[in-house]
Structure 1
Amino acid sequence: MGEQFILGIDVGTTSVKAGLVDAHGELRGLFSRAYKTHRPANQWAEQNAEDWTQLIDAAIAHYANEGLTPAIKAVGLCSQVNTHIFVGDNGKPLMPAILWQDGRARAQAQALNARVSDVQKVAWWDVPMPIDASNILSRMAWVAETHPDIWDKTRWVMLPKDYCLHHLTGEVCTDPLSNIGLVGSDLVYIPEVFNLVPGSMEKITPLAPITQVIGLVKAGSPLAGVPVVAGTMDAWAGMIGAGGAREKSSVYLSGTSETLGITSRDLTPTPGAIVFPECVGLRVHAAPTQSGGDAKAWFAALSGLRLDQMSNLVADTPRNDKTPLFLPQLEGERAPLWDSSLRSSFLGVSRRTGLGDFARAVYEGVAFASRHAFETIQTSSNTASKSVGCAGGGFKSDAWNQIRADVLGVECQILSIQEPGILGAAMIAGVGTGAFASLTEAHDALVRHNRVIAPREEYYQHYSEIFDVYKEAITTHASITARLSGTGKVPAPLSKNCT
C-alpha cells in the first residue's frame, strides 16, 4: 500500500489553507490562498463566504492535478469562529459573512449582557463570560432589528467551517466546541440562552461530535466518496495541533490574533477566560486576544515596511529608554477584557523615538496582551506553566519569539509544522476515521517541536515592571477613549475658498 494522507483544511481570517499530513506528522503538501476582508463602515468587517468554498475546490483541484487525491483517505476542517453567515433555504448566503472582528452589534450585545447575571453565566458556562459584539446572539439581534427581511428569510446561521462542510457533503451540522456561549458542559444547546433572542433557536444547526464522520464528499469532486469529519473551531484545533492534547499542557497560537490555551480538568471560574466543555477527554481553557499579526500588518502597512523588513528592524533595535509602550487594541479587545470600545495607543514617545523603536513596541505590546490573557487562564486552570507549545505564522520571527519568551517568562517550544490548524484538523479527522484511537495517540504520533526559545531572567524582570504599567495604562486609556468617542460629530472641512 502506498502513502496515505489526511487533508486538513483551515479556513482562517485571511486565507484558506489545505495541507496533506502523512502518518509521521509531516506536511507533504500545502495549498494557501488569501481572500479579502471588506470594511464598509466603522467597526464593520465582512467576507464573501463563497470565496472560502471556491478556494477549497481550488485546493482539491490542485492535489488532483498532482495525482495525489487517491491517497487522501479523510478530510478534516477547522475555521475561524464568531464569524457568521445568514443562509437561506437554498443554502446560499443572504448577506456578507459578519467577521469575528466586526463590532456592529455592540449595542445589542450590551443589552443582552445586561439581562444575564454573573451567577447565571457561571451556571450556564462555568465562567462569567460576557456576551460581546461577536456573539451569535448579538449578530442575530442586530439582523432581526436592522434587516427584518433577511431575518425572516434566514434558515440557518452558520459558521465558516459548517458552511464549507455543507458545500463539500450537502450535510448541515455544527459542533459543540465552536458554539461558545450556546452550549453547556453536557455538550448540548442551552435552551434558556436562546430565549434572549426570539426565533434564534429555529435558525441554529444540529450538533455533532467533533470526531464524527458527517458525510462523504459529493459526486463530481476529485475527492468524491472520501469521508469528511465534523471538525471544530480553528483555535481549539490549533491548540491541539500545537501540543495541547495532554493534561496541563500550554499552547500559544499566533496569527491574525493571539490565542493562549491550557488543557486542564481543574477549574476556577475566572472573569475573562473561556472554558470549553470537556470533549474527547480534554478540557481547554482559552484566551483569544483581538490583535496579533493584525497589529503587525497594520504598522507595517502604515510605515511602508514589508513584514520581513519589520522583523529585521526589530532584531536590529534593542529595547532602550526610547522604546514606547504600545497598547495593541486597534479594534477593541477580547480576552481577558472583552471590551470592543478599547483603542490603541503609543505612550512615552519622544523626538528620539525612531521607526525601529515603534516597531519593537508593537511586538512588545502584542506580547503584553498575550501575557495578560495567559495569566488569566493560568488562574482559571490552576496551572503554573513552565513551557508553552507555540505555532502559527507569528512564530516565524526569531526576534518576536525572544520577546514573547522574555515577556511571558516561559520556554517557547516552536512547532515544526507552522500550520497548527491543519495539523489539529487532521488529528481530529484521524480519530474520526479510525487512524488513531484518541487525540493523545494522534498527538504522540504527529506533533513535533524543533526549536526552543528560553526566557532571559533579567529581561523577564524588566518586562514585568513594564507589564504592570501596561495594565494600568489600559484602564486609564479606556476612559480617555470613551471621552473621545463622545465628543460628537466632526465639523465639516473648511471651504477651499476660505483664507
Structure 2
Amino acid sequence: MQALLGIDIGTSGCKALLIGTDGAVIAAETATYPLSQPRPGWTEQDPELWINGARQAVARAVARAPAVEILCIGLSGQMHGLTPLGADHRVLRPAILWNDQRNGAECAAITEAAGGLEGLLAATNNRMLIGYTGGKILWMQGHEPDLFARMTLMLNPKDYLRLRLTGEVASEVSDASGTGLFDVRRRQWATGLIETAGIDPDLLPPVFESQQITGRVSAAGASLFGLPKGVPVAGGGGDSVIQTIGSGVIGPGELQTTIGTAGILAAALDAPQDNPDGKLQVFCNVAADKWHCMGVSLNAGGAMGWYRDTLCADAPSFETLAAEAAESPAGARGLLFLPYLNGERCPHPDPSARGAFIGLTARHRRADLTRALMEGVVHAFADMHALMRPMGIDGRVIKASGGGARSALWRQIQADMFGCDVVTTEGAAEGAAFGAALVAGLAVGVWPDAATAAQSCRALTRERPDPQTAAVHTRAHAIYRGLYPALSDSFAALNDALFDR
C-alpha cells in the first residue's frame, strides 16, 4: 500500500500521520513534550524535544502499518518560532516560541524602521506582531549579543526538523509569512525591510512553495527517524495555514475555525488583498495560486483548560463541563466572557488585554459560566469575521477543527452565531499533520491540484443554525464588542509591575 506521511511539530507534542492515496487515515500517533516558561510572558522549548518527539511518533505510526510504501513526507509545525543555529547548525539556545511575549519593543522598532505601520504594511501586508520571528531576532541581538554573534542561521520549528531529516536548509512561503519579514504579495523575502531593520539576510533560509520538494531523507535522517533513505520531503506549511486545506477549506464561502490552545478563523483568498490596519494576518497559502487570511486569538481551548483547572475544584472532564453548559440557555443568562487571558492578537493586538466575566450575578451557576466561556471564544471569531467581510469573505459554511470541534455544543454555538452550517471533516481531527500529508501528495502528483486534494476531507458531522437563538446572539455580540474599548485603559493600568509583586 502506498502512503503519505505528515509530521506536525506542535507546541505540546509531535503528531505523525499516515494516509492513503485516497486521503483515508491509516495510522496516527502523537508523542508529547513539555515547554519552558523561565519568566512571565516567556515560552521556550529545547528543539531536541521536537526531534525526539518526531522519532517516537513516526516509529509508532510506521509500526502500525509496516507494509506501506511512503511516497512523500510533508512537514508542519508551530509558526513564528525562532530556532537560532550556529556553526555546524548547532542549536545555540532554546527556541523562542510563537506565544512568547518578550519582544514588544523590538517589534515596535521594526515598525518604526519601516516608516510606521503604513510602511510596514506596504512591505509585508502584515503588522510585526508580538511573537513574530522578526522581533525575536532583534531581541536576541539586543539581549544576548554573544549568542547572536555566533548565530549563522534562523529556522522555524518544522524547518529545523527538515534540516535533521534531510540535511537541507529550506523554508516555504506560509511559515516565512509568519516571520513578519516576508513580502506575501510577491512571495519572497522583504529584502528592503530586512536591511532597514538591521537584520543580516544571510540568517534567513531560502524559501520554496509549499508543494515543492525541498530535499530527500538523508542517510543520517534515515538512521535517526527509521525512514527509508531517499524519500522526498515537501515544503509543507505552518500549522495555522496548512490545517485549512486539511479541513477542506480552499474555495470561496468556506471558513475554518480552529479551537485549540489558540483560536483561529481562516479562509482562502484568490489574490493577496490589502490588509488595511493589519489586524488580520494575510499569508501565502500552501496552494501556490492562493493566499490565506486569518485572525488569531491567543485564547480559546486554553481558556477552557485554565477555567477547569483553576475554578472547578472537582476537575471535571471537558465533556462533563460541556454537558452542563448545554443546560444553560443561549446568552448564558446575560453573562459574557472576554477570553483575553494571555493578552490578545486579533482583533485587538494588545498584550495587556485581560480576561473577564461580565455580568455575574448570584443566580449564575457553573453551567452558565462554562457556556459564557464557550460563547466568548465564538464571539472572538465573530469579531474577526467582521474584519474579513470588507475583503469579500463571507461564511456559507464553517469547517470546524481542533480539540474544541469535538464538542457538539461548541459547534452549535458557532452555527447559531454565524447563521450557517458547521461541519467537521474526515482528517480535520488530525490537525495540521493531515494538511501536511495532503501537501506531500500534491508534491508527488497524487492529486492534480489543491481543490482536488481538499475533496478528500469528507463531511462527518453537521450542525445547522437554530433561528430561535439569533436575536439573543445578535444582542449579546453587540454588547461584547463594546467591552474591550470600555476596559482597555483599565487593562493597561492593571498591567503595571506593581501588581506582579
Q: TM-score, normalised by structure 1?
A: 0.92
**Which shifted more, 333-342 or 142-151?**
333-342
Answering whether residue 242 of structure 2 is matched by residue 244 of structure 1, we say no
8 A Cα contact 1:388 1:411, kept in partner: yes
Other-structure match for 1:41: 39
Task: Decide which moves more: 316-325 or 77-86.
Answer: 316-325
* 1:267-316, Cα deviation, whole Å (9 max, x unpaired): 35342122224652222211121111111111111123332222222223
Counterpart of 2:122 in structure 1 is: 123
**Contact 2:297-2:344 at 8 Å conserved across structures:** yes
Native 8 Å contact 1:326 1:345 kept in 2: yes
Match of 2:97 among 96, 99, 104: 99
Secondary structure at 2:18 match in 1: strand
In structure 2, distance between residues paired with 1:63 and 1:387: 33
In structure 2, the partner of 1:283 is: 291
Q: Would you say 1:137 and 2:145 are equivalent positions?
A: no
State yes or no: 1:413 paired with 2:423.
yes
> Which residue matches 2:190?
190
Cα deviation for residue 196 of structure 1 reads 4.1
Aligned to 2:275: 269
The equivalent residue for 2:50 is 52
Q: Distance in 1 between the 2:197 and 2:345 partners?
A: 23
Aligned-partner SS, 2:42? coil
1:24 CA displacement? 2.2
Which residue of the other structure, out of 251, 258, 261, is the alignment partner of 1:253?
A: 258
Deviation for aligned residue 1:487: 6.7
Moved over 6 A (4+): none
Q: Counterparts in 2 of 1:452-463, with a 5 A limit? A: 452-463=462-473
1:485: Cα distance to partner?
A: 2.1
Task: Provide the C-alpha distance between the structure 2 equivalents of 1:391 and 1:316, rounded to a whole number of angstroms.
Answer: 24
Give me the whole-angstrom Cα distance separating, in 2, the residues matched to 1:69 and 1:100: 37
In structure 1, what is the equivalent of residue 379 of structure 2? Answer: 368
- What SS does structure 2 have at the residue aligned with 1:179? helix
**Within-5 A mapping of 1:29-428:** 29-66=27-64, 68=66, 70-115=68-113, 116-125=115-124, 127=125, 129-180=126-177, 181-184=180-183, 185-219=185-219, 220=223, 221-223=225-227, 224-265=229-270, 267=273, 269-271=275-277, 272-277=279-284, 279-302=287-310, 303=312, 304-319=315-330, 322-380=333-391, 382-417=392-427, 418-428=429-439
Q: Distance in 2 between matches of 1:247 and 1:487?
A: 46
One-letter identity of the residue aligned with 2:419:
G
Contact between 1:262 and 1:377, CA under 8 Å: does it hold in 2?
Answer: no
What is the distance in 1 between the residues matched to 2:196 and 2:138? Answer: 9
Displacement of 1:265 = 2.5
Secondary structure, in 3 states, of the residue corresponding to 2:383? helix
Residue 36 to residue 208, structure 1, CA distance change in 2 (3 Å)? same
Q: 1:111 to 1:58 in 2, by over 3 A?
A: same
Question: Shift of the alpha carbon at 1:64?
Answer: 4.2
Residue type matched to 1:478 in 2? Answer: S
Contact 2:330–2:469 (CA under 8 A) maintained in structure 1: no
For residue 483 of structure 2, the aligned residue among 473, 476, 489 is 473
Comparing 207-216 with 299-308, greater Cα deviation is found at 299-308
What is the TM-score when the length of structure 2 is the normalising length? 0.92
Aligned-partner SS, 1:431: helix
Describe the shift of the 1:69–1:340 C-alpha distance in structure 2 as closer, same or farther (beyond 3 A). farther
Structure 2 residue identity aligned to 1:213:
I
| Cα distance in structure 2, aligned partners of 1:69 and 1:233 | 30
| Contact kept in structure 1, 2:31 and 2:54, CA below 8 Å | no
Give CA-to-partner distance per residue, 1:22-64, whole Å, 9 cap, x none. 1222111110122212222111111221111111111222244
Aligned with 2:175: secondary structure? coil
- What is the Cα deviation at residue 328 of structure 1? 0.5
Between the aligned partners of 1:186 and 1:248, the Cα distance in structure 2 is: 25
Q: Distance in 2 between matches of 1:305 and 1:97?
A: 34
1:322 and 1:349 in contact (8 A); partners too: no
Percent identical across equivalent pairs? 25
1:407–1:217 Cα change, 3 Å? same
Note closer, same or farther for the CA distance 1:186–1:318 as it changes in structure 2 (3 Å cut). same
Provide structure 1 residue ranges, at least 5 long, that are not aligned to the other structure: 492-499
Residue identity matched to 1:134: G
In 1, the alpha carbon distance for the partners of 2:144 and 2:458 equals 48
* 1:239–1:420 Cα contact (<8 Å) kept: no
List runs of 5+ in structure 2 lacking aligned partners.
none
Q: Any idea what SS the aligned residue of 1:18 has?
A: strand
Alignment partner of 2:57: what SS? helix
CA–CA distance in structure 2, aligned partners of residues 197 and 69 of structure 1: 51
Partners of 1:277 and 1:432 lie apart in 2 by 17
Provide the aligned length of Structure 1 versus Structure 2. Answer: 485
Whichever residue aligns with residue 20 of structure 1, its letter is L
Residue 78 of structure 1 and its aligned partner are, at CA, apart by 0.8
**Does the 8 A contact of 2:214 with 2:233 survive in 1?**
yes
CA-CA distance at 1:414 after TM superposition? 1.2
Superposed CA offset, 1:182-213 (max 9, x none): 22212111111113432342211111221111
Instruction: Label 1:437 to 1:487 Cα distance change in 2 as closer, same or farther (>3 A).
Output: closer
Residue 166 of structure 1: CA displacement? 0.7
CA-CA distance at 1:227 after TM superposition? 1.2
C-alpha displacement of 1:69? 6.0
Are the structure 2 counterparts of residues 188 and 490 from structure 1 closer, same or farther at C-alpha, using a change threshold of 3 Å? closer
Contact 2:72 2:441 in 1 (8 A): yes
Q: Shift of residue 369 of structure 1?
A: 0.7
CA distance in 1, matches of 2:471, 2:496: 39
Alignment partner of 1:133: what SS?
coil
Q: Tell me the alpha carbon deviations over residues 97-146 of structure 1, each in whole angstroms, 9 at most, x when there is no partner.
A: 11111101112222332343343233223x4x321221212111111111
Counterpart AA for 2:487:
H
